[in-house]
Amino acid sequence: MPESKNRRNRGSNKRSRKDRASSQQEEKITSPLSDADPVSLDDLELEDDGLPTWYRFTMFGLLLLGLLWICVFYISSGLFPIRAVGNWNVAIGFGVAMVGFFMTMRWK
């Protein structure tokens, strides 16, 4: 088959890559940050962003309290924890547990 007239010569393509690489090495790219003073991690004052102990106890306490509220309601057949509200005890238990779940969003 005849070769296409528009096909590039492979040797000239390699030369152009070499020329491009050498010209890029000659041009030094400077950055305004290259003159900055180096800073090590030891010099930085890192803050401890952990949660306080009371927050953890409150979060887990609310999760357990909501679970226990619902369990006590079902085990006692609606007599406990608050008999007057009836089936709304389930909503109260889920509400208390949801506050604990929302507190987990800050967990680190």
More confident residue, 77 or 17: 77
Distance of CA 18 to the CA centre of its chain: 44
Q: What is the pLDDT of residues 46-73, one digit of tens each?
A: 666 788 999 999 999 999 999 999 999 9
Average pLDDT over residues 29-33: 67
Q: Is residue 67 part of a domain?
A: yes
Instruction: For the full predicted model, state whether its pTM sits above 0.85.
Output: no
**Burial (0-12, 13-18, 19+ Cβ within 10 Å), 93:** buried
Whether the CB-CB separation of 80 and 73 falls below 8 Å is answered with yes
85 closest CA partner among 67, 97, 73, 98: 73
Give the Cα separation of 60 and 62 in Å (integer): 5
Q: Is residue 90 part of a domain?
A: yes
Domain that holds residue 98: 60-106
Number of domains in the chain: 1
